[in-house]
Amino acid sequence: MEPSTYTGENAAGSRDMDAVARFYVKCVLWLGVHDSTFVDAYFGPSAVREEALTVTVTPDRIAGYAGDLLATLDRIDLDRLEGAGRTRHAYLRGMVRALGPAPVSSRG
């Protein structure tokens, strides 16, 4: 299975937080292959884990996918979300940001 099957662009097409969340889980699992401390435990469906781990995705590519997912979240109209939806959006945004490269500090 090609890694390109799973892209942030697929999630972007649906503009749907559920799609972003599903792809986020796969990104986390992929990152866990490179950093064993990143995934403490996985309690989701084993089929999702098995499917995600049929490919190896580089950390740089995962960071790129995180950028795609953040762009998708940016396109979601927050005015159309209720309180819980806004909270979910903010939480998901923070989790996806953790997948990307660490920001460069301006402190020297």
pLDDT in tens, 65-94: 999 999 989 988 888 888 888 899 999 999
Q: What are the sequence ranges of the domains in the chain?
A: 3-97
Q: Are 92 and 24 in contact (CB under 8 A)?
A: yes
Q: How far apart are CA 15 and CA 96, in angstroms?
A: 15
Q: How far apart are CA 34 and CA 83, in angstroms?
A: 36
Residues of the chain with pLDDT under 50: 1-14, 104-108
The whole-model pTM stands at: 0.77
| pLDDT for residue 2 | 41
| pLDDT for residue 103 | 53
